Structure 1
Amino acid sequence: MIAREILAVKQQLGLEHLELTCLPAEFHFHPDRIAPAMDKAIVEAKAEGYTHIYVGYADCGTGGLLDRVCEKHGVERIAGPHCFAFYQGAAAYAQVTDADMMSFYMTDFLCRQFEAFFIRPLGLDRHPELVTDYFGNYEKLIYLAQTDDPALDQVAEDAAKMLGLVYERRATGYGDLPSALANAVSNAADQ
């Protein structure tokens, strides 16, 4: 779900030597699949000769299972419970956690994939009356904008209207992602 952003940060920081391997974004619907798939991916990367591996996942609903995989293999991951936290920056996220409790977050990726990740899988294209069942406990939609893209802004605004939520846009950029990648590269160089 953050591949495009990692590639942008990689270019921005001149980290072209980094290689990216992705797990399916749909694992976010099934967080129980993330840790086993990451375990397999790390084993495969080590078998291919990679010695410095960094996991570009936050916990993402694994309930600590991803941390156990990272500990098992001696690798680090990006800090935080999910991308919504590291995009805002850990310190900023900590300040808004309580206020955002009833908020539905969207990112650039989720705006690009709104139909594929929400509308169709939840059946809202066939049964729009389910919107209140799925989203009735939310009060607002917060778009954490990594880029300035009017088309993505429009998707987020339209989604808020469709879901009956107040719309808020936060220009977060890549949050803690650049420093996390830079630190991972620095730590690898020190080893």
Structure 2
Amino acid sequence: MALDDDALTDHGLTAKGAGRILLLACGALARELIDLRDANGWDHMDLHCLPAILHNTPDRIPDAVRAAVEKHRAGYETILVVYADCGTGGMLQKACAELGVEMIEGPHCYSFFEGNAAFAAREEFTAFYLTDFLVRQFDAFVTKPLGLDHHPELREMYFAHYETLVYQAQTDDPELTKKAQICADRLGLRFERRFTGYGDLDPVLRAL
């Protein structure tokens, strides 16, 4: 039975928001989420991204997510937080539970890109991961924040315990693969490319 406008208002929704889904996501996932939405014709899904740079200060992610949910809640029937734990120490999960919204499972996006089960089974402790986004933004998210642009000698301190750079490729792009190889060379790490596609993002969005 369809709800009239008054009933929708009573449920905290506008008529425009009924049946609509908001993907509240990390900016690092924007391109992949848009690709999935457009390829599948999921026109009932909107995307709102928070700045990807929040990953450099993960303690700020829960409050940023909380503010965005409260801002947009009335316009959507469902909000999915497209973050994993991402270094928040469980605080993001706690915030989502308090807000009554779902979030993607996993410790970080590298895990759900590969698939949480497959990632956990590898038990890799000496791998440094890049995704398509991080390959494109390597200098902005790795080189400059770590000061390697001015002090390349710091590489040995930051990456002494890493052995391999693993490029989790969402797309089959030779240019990105070449750039990822260059990133590995700059860090003095072995290079491995894994084509993961969209990992757990696809089935999670389909389940909505």
Instruction: Tell me the TM-score normalized by structure 1.
Output: 0.92
Give the corresponding residue for 1:161.
185
* Amino acid in structure 2 at the alignment position of 1:10: R
Helix, strand or coil at the partner of 2:94: helix
- 25, 28, 35: which one aligns with 2:55: 28
2:96 to 54, 57, 70: 70
Q: Which amino acid aligns with 1:9?
A: L
Identity %: 51
Is the radius of gyration larger for structure 1 or structure 2? 2
Instruction: Spell out, residue by residue over 1:70-119, the C-alpha distance to the aligned partner (whole angstroms, 9 max, x if none).
Output: 111111011111110000011211211x2x21100000000010011111
Matched, 1:40 2:64: no
Corresponding position: 1:19 with 2:46: yes
Aligned partners of 1:36, 1:75: CA distance in 2, in Å? 14
Superposed CA RMSD in Å reads 0.9
SS in 2 for 1:63: coil
Shift of 1:51: 2.4
Q: Does 1:6 align with 2:30?
A: no
Q: Which has the higher strand share?
A: 2
> Aligned to 1:139, which of 163, 183, 200?
163
Unaligned runs of 5+ in 2: 1-27
Letter in 2 for 1:80: G
Gaps of 5+ in 1: 186-191
1:137 match: secondary structure: coil
Look up the match of 1:113.
137
Counterpart check, 1:170 vs 2:194: yes
Q: How many residues align?
A: 181
Q: In the alignment, what sits opposite 1:130?
A: 154
Matched, 1:104 2:92: no
Query: Partners in 2 of 1:134 and 1:126 — Cα distance?
Result: 14
Q: 2:119 aligns with which of 80, 90, 93?
A: 93
Which stretches of structure 1, 4 residues or more, deviate above 4 A after TM superposition?
none
TM-score by length of 2: 0.85
